[in-house]
Structure 1
Amino acid sequence: MKFIEQNAWQFLSVKLPVLGAFLLLVLIPGLQWAVDFKLIPVEYHAYVTGGVMVFLSWLGKKWYQPSLHQPLGFVAVTAGHSNSDPGAVNGKYKESELVTNFRNAVAHYLREAGLQVKTDGTGAKNDPLSAAVKLIQGSSVAVEFHMNAAASKQANGVETIALPRDKKLAQDLSKAVADALGSRLRGDNGWIDQSKSARGRLAYVNAGGLIMELGFISNEDELARFNARYWLAAKAVANILIKYNNALK
């Protein structure tokens, strides 16, 4: 035997009969009183109680539940900073431009897999944070891409800042990028709890999104590997998001 739905309690066809059974525990003494006074023929007593259960079950199946028929929504992928804010810079390389290219690559693979995708701009366009945050509402998952920077040229690694509820997804995303780029994982196997982040509370994370730090733009070796392999890393990230989205069905 294979159960097709583990969370049966979400259906009114289950909830209403259970409610009916509870109410009948209260109503049965009253129905017996009605029988005693010949208001209900004794042979109809069982029909009344059974009929209530059948009716409630039927009603539960017919009653439309919008929450069970909503589409999963879209996947939001956004690029950190904006066209007017370059973020961290290393020579000719600007963080905002690198992560915009990465966003576009991830979006390409997601759309190729048939997912509905929304981004904070197309091509070279990179909208400000305020626009990116608005995309989170209604999405099944939302990820924004950044690159780290540090005074030490040796600082390296990949991390994803997220709320505790998204720890596993954050770790999976970080590992996908680290494996593709030949980098290491920072934090808790690639996850950084926002409360432990040096940046403190972040608007994007507070709204339910995840922020990926794809590496250190200040590290020449890591920057070179990113530029050489970012399409490979983007495909790995897209695969994680596709699996995550499919699991919600």
Structure 2
Amino acid sequence: MTDTKKIYFASDQHFGAPTPEKSFPREQKFVAWLDEVKKDAEAIFLLGDLFDFWFEYKTVVPKGFVRVLGKLAELRDSGIPIYFFIGNHDLWMDDYFEKELNIPVYHRPQEFTFNNKLFLIGHGDGLGPGDKGYKRMKKVFTNPFSKWLFRWLHPDVGVRLGQYLSVKNKLISGDEDVKFLGEENEWLVLYSKRKLETKHYDYFIFGHRHLPMTINVGENSKYINLGDWIGYFTYGVFDGKNFELKEFKN
């Protein structure tokens, strides 16, 4: 990294929820953020749930999101590296981003080193103790046979069904507030502490919880949750020395 460049992180935009019309202002705000950070971005990390539902047929992807996809293509074409980690709402992402946008897609947490600082980066779903019901469900949904069965649904049926089920998620529909559970009950905090038992990381960067958080999990180690672009509009920035959570107020 150079002294004038920064690395940016964002997660949980859930575009398309609860409806395309209500999601549209958030898409515009996110595009404005991309326009802002491109001025000094060394790289951009998107940590999942960019879409509230995403499924790739062999020749079809869900329509919409053209401004977001176009802006990502513009930034990639300008030479800015972008990395995408799938979340629990877009876990059926395949190779569309890689082939169309030249954006690598990761299905599990990955290590990155910036300025001698070691990062562990991922979406965060299904990590740590507990949440056994979701972990079982995820195994079913990511099974190649399940994807093959779903692909037999006509896109007009499959996409509408997927969007309906995704919006029924209590977090997105607004039926349930997300609350901090305390360090002893936050699964990603426990996961981070367990990882530190065998290896040192300077930063654990995750999304999924929809709550902006910075928590010390060890000596010189921090767990950071990026929040979301539904109620907080928060993002992370690493300037080569320090990591900071910020709110985009455009």
Q: Whose helix fraction is larger, Structure 1's or Structure 2's?
A: 1
TM-score w.r.t. the length of structure 1 is 0.28
Larger relative contact order (CA 8 Å, sep ≥ 6): 2
TM-score w.r.t. the length of structure 2 is 0.28
Q: Whose strand fraction is larger, Structure 1's or Structure 2's?
A: 2
| The structure with more radius of gyration | 1
